[in-house]
Amino acid sequence: MKLSVVLIAYDMQREVPRSLQSLAPNYQLDARSLDYEVIVVDNGSPQPLSLDSSDYSGMSLDLLRIDKASASPCAALNLAASRARGDILCIMIDGAHMLTPGAFQWALRAFSAFEQPVVATRYFYLGPGEQPETIQQGYDKAREDALLERIGWPGEGYRLFEVGTPLGLGSDRVTWFNRMFESNCLFLHRHLYESLGGVDERFDLPGGGFVNIDLYKRAVESEGSTLVQLVGEGSFHQLHGGTTTNSSDEPRRRRLDQFRSQYRQLRGHDQLVSDRPLNFMGHLPSQASKIHLRDRSQASK
């Protein structure tokens, strides 16, 4: 098997079906002939996640549930990875993300071009700004639903760029060439994931703390790895009450301080961002995908 997509979910009955639709062979370009599977882990949701595999025709879909789950997704991620059959893993630690249609196609091209690539997809928020800010201004699930209905999603997948905002962490302008420090759609060889020991389950804080950042950094800094950032493809975060993305300022600041402190304890430093050389692959599929041309404050309302 070529590819195993691993998606972790907690209390995401609204969001996961959309995430899965964005992984489906009738949505991802060239995926009808791709030998791949999707493994979803319900990490102890209060109401068990319910999925109907018949809704995702042609997709090999496996749903696992952990009843007495940790607040961290680490064990769930390692469990799914241990069951994966693909040579390549696509890690989606937050199951509320939707992809643009060429994510698989361009990521797999990187695996043809490089011996051991680590391929990162840029993070976007759905909505007119970064969700920690917009939820305080009235952005909610109903508005998000209306945005997706307006662009006719999933019929026109690249229109997600019209209703999304790239993660900028305070920067006024983001381009495709800004260095990333994590990705919620990260592709790497399964043997590399295994050689790293998977994700470090000592990251036991809610949401995993900085474990996604840690996996990214360890993978791209491993011997023989080549970092590839995709251009023109995105991973779009749906509103769902996430640990840090969908909380107000003060609780979010306190939690990030906890995450940073734990990372320092486990790794002995605060260097979250890798300085490894960057490579880029991709395209610009629409005018809205030219994120370097627009101010983040002008994202579609």
In angstroms, the CA 99 to CA 92 distance is: 10
Under the banding of pLDDT at 50, 70 and 90, the label for residue 300 is very low
At 242 the pLDDT is 64
CB burial of 265-289 (b: ≥16 within 10 Å; e: otherwise) equals eeeeeeebebeeebeebbebbeebb
Range of weakest confidence among 24-33, 195-204, 247-256: 247-256
Q: What is the pLDDT of residues 62-112, one digit of tens each?
A: 999 999 999 999 999 999 999 999 999 999 999 999 999 999 999 999 999
pLDDT of 246 strictly over 90? no
At 168 the pLDDT is 85
Domain positions in the chain are 3-298
pLDDT of 296 strictly over 90? no
pLDDT of 297 strictly over 70? no
Under the banding of pLDDT at 50, 70 and 90, the label for residue 295 is low
Q: What is the mean pLDDT of the chain?
A: 94
First to last CA, the chain: 41
Q: Which of 100, 104, 81, 83 is nearest to 91 (CA)?
A: 81
Contact 89, 198 (CB under 8 A): no
The mean pLDDT value for 128-141 works out to 92
The mean pLDDT value for 201-228 works out to 97
The mean pLDDT value for 273-299 works out to 86
Residues in the chain, how many?
301
pLDDT of 245 strictly over 70? no
The mean pLDDT value for 114-134 works out to 95
Under the banding of pLDDT at 50, 70 and 90, the label for residue 292 is confident
Cα dihedral 32, 102, 149, 49, rounded to 10, equals: 60
Assign domain 3-298 one CATH number from 3.30.2350.10, 1.20.1300.10, 3.90.550.10, 3.40.50.1980. Answer: 3.90.550.10
Q: Which of 93, 100, 96 is nearest to 31 (CA)?
A: 100
The mean pLDDT value for 12-23 works out to 98
At 96 the pLDDT is 97
Q: Cα separations (Å) of 261 from 73, 74, 253, 255?
A: 19, 18, 12, 10
Under the banding of pLDDT at 50, 70 and 90, the label for residue 169 is confident
At 301 the pLDDT is 43
The mean pLDDT value for 211-220 works out to 98
At 251 the pLDDT is 83
